[in-house]
Structure 1
Amino acid sequence: MITAVTGPPGAGKTHWIREQISKTTDPVGYFNPGEDSVVIDGTCLACEFPQVQIFTSGEELQRFNPEFVSTTYIEIPWHFDLSSVEPLLTRLNLKRIAIIPSSSQNPEWENWADSAILGNKNIAEPLSKNHNYSVQIHRNLLTGEILDWTSLALFWFELIQGAYGEVIRAKGIFDLVSGESIYGDYVAGTINQEFVALNVPLWLTGRPERFSGLEIVGFNLQLKEISQTLKDCFIPESQIDYYQQQIQTSLQTEEEVTP
């Protein structure tokens, strides 16, 4: 069983896929041809469900078969021209799902799909009211960077409040000086979700050798300001070892006093 899923940003594509994966313990494949090196959704799914295998471009035809996984989900990004992925999809026996708001402004998704599922209806308003502007997508690969929590929280608050342009979707995975890897998720028109810790070990020795990154979708984004403010959240190289030693000492002390 292979299912291809598409729809506008923030409509709930990954959320729907997550719901399907939660219903099985069988091996499941996930492929997003638009994530490239910024694999936010795939990383979150793999952290939450150990049975998920993330496929990358170039291996999809070799791996989309029951020898490796019982089910595969292909999440097609909102900004893809559907005709560009049609050569791949036509070679696969798959089901097509469109996750759309109740007032979708793009009938292409519904016409392409075998069935349409109503997702986040609130995302339709910012998309429709800005129809004269080009939707922008901005990505930062942050792998190896360690961020200060207070600075990150302030940046995130400013970001979703419009300090760097109108944001309709933002999501990111960040490594903190505490050793945690956390996930932030924002969709315009919904209650802002708090950061949540991913189910991965604490990283307290040197720069993290695991993925972290940020993706922002919106209008009139101030890209240089976003990148610079994000850099200001980074812990300097000269301070990384000091902070990690402090955290390790604190954790060791807690273990010693815990009966």
Structure 2
Amino acid sequence: MQNTWLIMGPPGCGKTNWIRDSFLKHPGSCAYLRLCGSDQEGLEQGHNAGIDSAWLQDQIPELLDLATTATAPLPSGPQLLLIEVQQFQPPTNSSPSGIDPHLLRQLERFNLRPDRTLHFGLDPELPQEDVLDFKRLESWHRNLQGCVWDPNSLSSFWFELVNGAYGDVYRAKALMNLPDGRSFLCNWVVSQQGSQILPLESVEPPAGRPNRTSQLVVQGRTLDPAGIQSTINDCLLTDDDLELHQAQFRYREHSFQTKG
């Protein structure tokens, strides 16, 4: 029997973490889908850059992402399909009849009809500590595919970003590549005491630019996109600098294997 749940809530409330925990507790096969929510007056949606699905699939390699495998049948056995949507205001009720028509049209394209709807800020079984009521929200994003950061510069940039150097940032999420082949999920919301910086399980060989999802999504007020972009440009490694970094990692790995 397949359970199809629609999980909604405002930016930064903990939807993806809750979904991850639910998948890890589920004994059978799991599938995930991220849909685009609706903009409201003065409230811009965060760009669906694939950060959440990439993070979930790194943590749960067998997870099926319906956005990229829409025609593939779900595996047999107990199934759980969780659909994530960023939605600023809770619906009038948690039944399927309360789903936004904009979402219904997207669900129809996948031939889906949720049998359960949960909204952060409405349903008491969901965490409440990071549910914020946004009155005005701008959004900006940058595709960083193939980009690699100088490690020290990345730390400085992220600190500046979430501490107001480029406007009042309320929400920031990113997947960032480092020259040693690691990638990190950087996650911050204004209600939290600090940033969540988590390494991905998968590590690529330190040989050239990685071919995996790398994105930055920022939401806030009076954002300074030009300032963010200028600093990013200063923090990314050129081809020559990247090779210098990676050559050191390859030499250390070779030396270790030789001694071993």
Give the TM bin, normalised by the shorter chain: 0.7 to 0.9
Deviation at 1:36, TM superposition (A): 7.2
Deviation at 1:66, TM superposition (A): 5.6
DSSP-derived class of the 1:216 partner:
strand
Residue number in structure 2 paired with 1:208: 210
Residue number in structure 1 paired with 2:67: 56
Distance 2:61 2:47 in 1: 21
**Aligned letter for 1:201?**
V
1:1-259 maps to which residues of 2 (within 5 A)? Answer: 1-34=3-36, 38-56=49-67, 60=70, 62-63=71-72, 65=74, 70-78=79-87, 82-89=100-107, 91-100=112-121, 110=122, 115=123, 117-124=125-132, 127=133, 131=135, 134-257=136-259
Counterparts in 2 of 1:122 and 1:96: CA distance versus 1, 3 Å: closer
Counterparts in 2 of 1:231 and 1:37: CA distance versus 1, 3 Å: farther
**Aligned letter for 1:94?**
D
Unaligned runs of 5+ in 1: 101-109
Distance 2:146 2:54 in 1: 15
DSSP-derived class of the 1:42 partner:
helix
**Aligned letter for 1:96?**
T
Normalising by structure 2, we get a TM-score of: 0.81
Q: Number of aligned pairs?
A: 237
CA contact (8 A) 1:5 1:96 kept: yes
Deviation at 1:22, TM superposition (A): 0.9
Distance 1:197 1:213 in 2: 15
1:192-246 deviations in whole A, cap 9, x for unaligned? 1352210002331111111111111111111111122112111012222222111
DSSP-derived class of the 1:32 partner:
strand
**Aligned letter for 2:164?**
G
Counterparts in 2 of 1:70 and 1:36: CA distance versus 1, 3 Å: farther
CA contact (8 A) 1:180 1:202 kept: yes
Q: Higher mean Cα deviation, 193-202 or 240-249?
A: 193-202
Counterparts in 2 of 1:96 and 1:166: CA distance versus 1, 3 Å: same
Deviation at 1:63, TM superposition (A): 4.7
DSSP-derived class of the 2:235 partner:
coil
Distance 2:246 2:54 in 1: 24
Q: Higher mean Cα deviation, 248-257 or 159-168?
A: 248-257
Distance 1:222 1:252 in 2: 44
Deviation at 1:50, TM superposition (A): 1.7
Residue number in structure 1 paired with 2:93: none
**Aligned letter for 2:127?**
G
Counterparts in 2 of 1:68 and 1:249: CA distance versus 1, 3 Å: farther
Deviation at 1:26, TM superposition (A): 2.5
Q: Higher mean Cα deviation, 239-248 or 14-23?
A: 239-248
Sequence identity percentage: 24
Distance 1:208 1:119 in 2: 35
Counterparts in 2 of 1:137 and 1:79: CA distance versus 1, 3 Å: farther
Residue number in structure 2 paired with 1:107: none
Counterparts in 2 of 1:122 and 1:92: CA distance versus 1, 3 Å: closer
DSSP-derived class of the 2:149 partner:
coil
Residue number in structure 1 paired with 2:41: none
Q: Higher mean Cα deviation, 157-166 or 33-42?
A: 33-42
Pairwise CA RMSD: 2.6
1:84-138 deviations in whole A, cap 9, x for unaligned? 11234475142111012xxxxxxxxx4xxxx4544343442xx45xx2xx31121
Distance 1:25 1:186 in 2: 30
CA contact (8 A) 1:30 1:73 kept: yes
